[in-house]
Amino acid sequence: MKVKKGDQVKVISGNDKGKTGKVLSVIPHDNRIVVEAVNMKKKHVRPRKQGQKGEVVDIPAPFSISRVMIICPRCAKPSRMGYNINDSGKKARVCKKCGEES
């Protein structure tokens, strides 16, 4: 899975097509991610204290990782990512458009 928490991504399909946002969490065993302000769902919250009212809260819901593309921090364009092994032996993500490591 090439998407990590904190990456900037752009949604390429679905109701939120064209939106960008930061990855809040990644669920690798389901191939799903949660992105801020994308795929918002309403959740009804019960009152916790006496005298407090219940409310409806918008929360981002997980969706398939195949619906997003990573925005390269160097060229600032949505692109595919690959892997390269550095001369020091570390595995690094590489942008397929500009060729820079991220």
| pTM check: above 0.85 | yes
Residues 81 and 63 in one domain: no
Please give the C-alpha separations between residue 79 and each of 18, 44, 56, in angstroms, as whole numbers.
14, 37, 36
Residues 62 and 97 in one domain: no
Residues 9 and 35 in one domain: yes
Rounded Cα distance, 16 and 26, in Å: 18
- For residue 102, pLDDT over 90 is answered with no
Domains in the chain, number: 2
* Sequence-ordered list of residues with C-beta below 8 angstroms from that of 76, at least 6 positions apart, any chain: none
1 — pLDDT class (breaks 50, 70, 90): confident
Residues 78 and 67 in one domain: no
How confident is the model over 45-68, as a mean pLDDT?
Answer: 96
Using DSSP's 3-state secondary structure scheme, residue 39 falls into coil
Residues 85 and 62 in one domain: no
86 — pLDDT class (breaks 50, 70, 90): confident
Averaged confidence pLDDT in the chain: 95
- For residue 80, pLDDT over 90 is answered with yes
Residues 8 and 42 in one domain: yes
Residues 94 and 79 in one domain: yes
Residues 43 and 17 in one domain: yes
C-beta of residue 80 within 8 angstroms of C-beta of residue 93: no
Please report, for the domain that includes residue 61, its CATH number. Answer: 2.30.30.30
C-beta of residue 9 within 8 angstroms of C-beta of residue 70: yes
Residue 43: strand pairing partners: 57
Residues 60 and 84 in one domain: no
Q: Which domain holds residue 66?
A: 1-49+56-71
Residue 32: both structure tokens together: 């799903």
Q: Which pLDDT tens digit goes with each residue over 3-53? A: 999 999 999 999 999 999 999 999 999 999 999 999 999 999 999 999 999
